[in-house]
Amino acid sequence: MLTAAGLPLSRIEGVIMVGLKTAMVTGAAGTIGKAVTKMLLAEGFRVIMADINQNSLDELASTLAGEVFPAVFDVSDAIEVGEAVNSITKKWGAVDILVNNAGILSNNKSQTTDASEWERIININLNGMFYTAKAVIPGMKEKGWGRIINTSSLAAKSGGITAGTAYSTSKGGVSSLTFSLAAELAEFGITVNGISPAYIKTPMVTEQLTEEERQQVLAKIPVHRFCEPEEFAHVVKFLIDELSGFITGEIIDLNGGLLFD
């Protein structure tokens, strides 16, 4: 049996999948998105790199070897998402794997979060994942196979150590969305799981926290270091594997021991 990306044929529970090759990563221009994209390319996938930042996407794509294609759209705009996925499907076929990763951080707690910030965080972090998943699901159903991985956060369970109210709430919604989609789609051969990271080495840590805050966080993490983006990508690699097909509706913690449950 070959891996899902390993072409040309695989068989699970009597279902034959031929040429499973197309993955889409949202938030692909960011640190996590870049690590996931590199992993997928190494595994033999064609990767649709989705982001709202055209320049960053083009610059990153130019540095990568393999079948990688930038797609610029706003995940918080349902119409844009639908049009983009339709275009991708017409050109390359249905998306087999969706890594729903686009998101933004806010560290503002309730009293310093105004209505516009609340709506922006929810629209991008939660609504965007719903719109994108909804758009790719029909193609996955037609194939009878698919993998959706949603990026949640430790903040969904902790209420936010340094993260703000809107961000923590949006990620709680992502976890619930994961459960709902997993229950709905299991019978169609589609698994839906989430990854709940904490303090990956991204600008959210290196730029949006002060040095004092970083040291305070490190003191709380039992492994005494921040998470590497490649470690996140490794969890994605595990979840998209054919032999992970019995795992759905799971939120995998990636937090260095900050929270056990």
Catalytically active residues, by annotation: 167
What tokens appear for 21 in the block?
Answer: 């090759």
Q: Which of 129, 148, 165, 151 is nearest to 227 (CA)?
A: 151
> Phi first, then psi: what are they for 22, rounded to 5°?
-105, 120
How far out from the chain centre does Cα 5 lie?
A: 18
By the 8 A CB rule, do 182 and 191 touch? yes
Instruction: List the Cα angle 133/134/135 in 5-degree steps.
Output: 90
Instruction: List the Cα angle 200/119/27 in 5-degree steps.
Output: 35
